[in-house]
Each structure stands twice: as structure tokens, then as C-alpha cells.
Amino acid sequence: GIERLMEICHLLVASGEFAKKHTGRADPADALSALRERYRPDVLVVTLGAAGGLWAQAGRSGGYPAFRVPVVDTTGAGDVFHGAFARFMLDGLAADKAARLASAVAALKCTRPGGRAGIPTLAEARAFAETAAEQ
């Protein structure tokens, strides 16, 4: 049933591995293009973990960074990215800015133990995104 769900999504966030398997395209940018062409979501993101990721919105596309952090625990990092990205889109941010800030949230989470307990505040994430080094 995933095909039907993807057909009705306005916001589609897929892991790089899922995008590769689903489209048969090894290159993440090619996989993003194939997903965008086939499903036509308003916003599309392909996450690439420590390599950051790719986004597409309104005929524009680009990449977003991963941030260099001392990793303590990656539990929940993907979930935190998804939730933060959705929240930032609902706040009215464009996909490029939402993805960068969500990446900062996920990076900060990785510096702390625990899934839920490691989630940073919005203020922490904004401050970190402004000053942190990108990978």
C-alpha cells in the first residue's frame, strides 16, 4: 500500500536507501528526481544520514548539510528529523531552511543519550544551526 500513500502525500520524506530501492537509481539526486516525477509531492526530501540530504520544492531543489557533532546516541535521530521538518514546514519555512534546521535538531539529539530525552529545544537548535560546522 505504500505506492497509494505516496501518491497522495503533499510532503514526502524518504531515506536514501528507500529512495534507491524504490526507484532503482543509485545516485540520490537521480532518485529524488524520479520520486518527484512519479509522485509529484509539494515537498520532497531524501535523507542521507551523516551526508545530509536533498530537498525539492516548487521547481527548486538542493542539498542540506549534516553537522559535525560528537555522537553519543543516534537513537531517534531520524524520527526527530521527520518531526522537526514537518513542524518547520507548518511554521511556513521553505524546504531548504526547514531541512537545514531539522538536520540541526537531529545532530543535537545525537550528542545526547536517549531517544526522547535527547531532543533539543527549538532555541538550542536555532542557535546550533547558526554556529555549527557542516560536514
* Runs of H (alpha helix) within the chain: 2-8, 16-23, 28-39, 77-90, 95-110, 122-131
Regions of the chain with pLDDT less than 70:
135
**What are 17-53's pLDDT values in tens digits?**
999 999 999 999 999 999 999 999 999 999 999 999 9
- In terms of Cα–Cα distance, which of 135, 95, 100, 101 is closest to 120? 101
| Residue 67 grid cell | 553537522
| Res 132: pLDDT | 84
Residue pair 81/65 in contact (Cβ under 8 Å)? The answer is: no
DSSP assigned state of 25? -
Largest Cα–Cα distance in the chain? 42
| Res 135: pLDDT | 60
| Res 1: pLDDT | 85
